[in-house]
Every structure is written in structure tokens, then in C-alpha cells.
Amino acid sequence: MNACEERVAPRSRSIGGSNAAAALGQSRYKTMHQFFLELTGQIEADEVGADAAERIAFGVAMEPVIADMYAQRYRVKLRRPHQIARHRRYPWMTASYDRLIVGRREGLEIKNVDGLAHRLGEWGDEHSDAIPTEYLLQVHHYLAVSGYERWHLAACVGGCRLVVYHVERDPEMIEELVEGERHFWAFVERGEAPPLDYEHPSAIALLKRIYRGTDGTTIRLPAEAEAMHYARLDFEEQAKLMKAGADAARARLLQMMGNASIGVLPNGGSYRRALIERKAYEVEATRYIDFRFSRKGEPQ
């Protein structure tokens, strides 16, 4: 959640819990370079589409409901802080807590989680500390700022199930987190952007945001650009070959199966063919063969 934190952090030039992973280069959504540009006001914070905006809105609306469900289940009283917390030694470390548990040195982070993402993602058994990396770093950031001993994460899964995780204070992890954030903050103090991770999934989208137009000039690229050019061509050619090889193997498998519904491999896995027919409603009627692989032991 932490909409307050997202609004305040760029203006106060600090690292909040929801950006701890980005500051450490551990976020799957943004690079350290992007976070630096956002923090220093060189680009706006993430631009989200309509779908993402709706998910965020639902998350904000669900926060008090999830908090109430947690309080009822564990018979505790929760307090919602209205001020940004700041680390005693490191003023660039701030936190906007979802809830604090009254009478205990414990806090609560609240998440609204898609059911499929919970089942197939990085979530482990309930009551463990097996949560996605971004959230684990966020929670340890809060433990570092607050000095508390334990933080809980209440996840509303699929809109109808409360799954709770518990993270104990880990001094070694907190030390590494603080050191990593200190390293990032040194870039901010120097006004020097950290190197861009060109292999990060968000790198191209970020560069398109930075360089939105053209100025009509012509420049001579450095010698390194030629090497990058041929590397790009090589990777693209390999990708085409891999795609062609995969398509050829798929075609051969389809030929081997003929009209069969299920083809069992020697190792026990299997391929399934099914005729799918959909009647017209808002789109045109369609009819196709669904062809997919199933691992050994999985339902056909």
C-alpha cells in the first residue's frame, strides 16, 4: 500500500520501504538508475496504465478491510500512524507503516494479492517468512527504521482469504540492507546516477521515457556502438533460430500425434490435443486445436 510513502519520498529525498528493493538493485519492476532519476526529480514516478491504476485503487480500498480482518483474527488493536517515520541514525531511511500493533514492538504490512500470483509466485507456507523479495526487503527496511523485533504481512488472496506471514528481525540482513541503501544514497549525495542495468526488463521502457523525442541532429556513435550493433544482430538471429527450431519440433510432434487426443512420452509426460469451439458473442466465432504439454503426474 503506502500511497503516502510513494508521494512523500521523492520530495523528501529519502528511501522508503516500498523502494528498498529498487535501491538495492533487487526490484523486478525498476532499476536503481530509474529510482535515482525519480528521487532526484529528473523523471516522474512510474506511469501506470489503467489496469495497474485500478489494482492500486482496489488495494487502497481493501487496506482497512484487511486490517480489520487481521485484528479480529488475532484479537489485537491496530494503530495507523499518520506521520512518516525516520531512522535515528540515517535520515535518508524513512517509512510509512500500514499499521502498528498496539502494546507490542511489532508492525503490520498489508497486501491485496491476486490468487494466481499467490499460487504460482514466490509465496510460501502461511505463518512462514516466505514472501516475495520486494516485500521481504520492505519489511526489513521497516524493522531497521522502527527498531522493532517482528513484522507481520497480511495478504488478502483472491479477495476472499486472509493469509498471514511473520518476519523476525534479522540483524545480519538489516546490516546488509542498510549498507546497500547507504551505497545507493552515496550516488544521490554526489548527484551521480548509478549505472543502468541494461539487462533489466524495464531498461528499454525507461530509456523511452527519458528520451521521448528527437531534435533533428546527427551524431557519430563511438566504436563500442558497432560492437553493440553486431551483438544485437547476433542475438536476434539466435532468437529467430530458436523460434524456428521450437516451431519445427512442435510441427513434428503434431504429426506424430495425428488425430490422437493424448500422446504419452517415454518419461511419463504427455501432450494433449483438444478441439476448442467458441460461439460468437462479442467476437467472431472461433474453432481451433489446443495443443499443450503436461508434466508427469499432472492432470490431463
| Residue of higher predicted confidence among 287 and 101 | 101
176-198 average pLDDT score: 96
- State residue 8's pLDDT score: 39
Q: Quick check: pTM over 0.85?
A: no
* Segment 203-230, tens digit of pLDDT: 998 998 888 888 889 989 899 999 999 9
Residue that is written with C-alpha cell 489496469 in the block: 51
DSSP string, 180-231: HHHHHHHHHHHT-PPPP-TTSTTHHHHHHHHS-S--S---PPPHHHHHHHHH
- State residue 300's pLDDT score: 42
pLDDT at position 2 over 60: no
The three-point CA angle 182-150-24 to 5° equals 25
What domains does the chain contain, in order, with CATH numbers? Answer: 3-208 (3.90.320.10), 249-300 (no CATH)
pLDDT at position 7 over 60: no
- CA-wise closest residue to 62 among 151, 156, 135, 126: 156
d(CA 1, CA 99): 11
- CA-wise closest residue to 169 among 152, 151, 182: 151
pLDDT grade for 127, boundaries at 50, 70 and 90 = very high
The fraction of the chain above a pLDDT of 90, given in percent, is 70
* Segment 230-266, tens digit of pLDDT: 999 999 999 999 999 999 999 999 999 999 999 999 8
Crossing angle (nearest 10°) for helices 203-210 and 32-39: 30
pLDDT at position 177 over 80: yes
Quote the cell numbers at residue 240.
529467430
Query: With contact defined as beta carbons under 8 Å apart, do 182 and 193 qualify?
Result: no
- State residue 120's pLDDT score: 85
pLDDT grade for 290, boundaries at 50, 70 and 90 = low
pLDDT grade for 57, boundaries at 50, 70 and 90 = confident
The three-point CA angle 69-71-74 to 5° equals 105
Cβ atoms within 10 Å, residue 137: 25
DSSP category for residue 25:
T
* Segment 129-171, tens digit of pLDDT: 999 999 999 999 999 999 999 999 999 999 899 999 999 999 9
- State residue 235's pLDDT score: 93
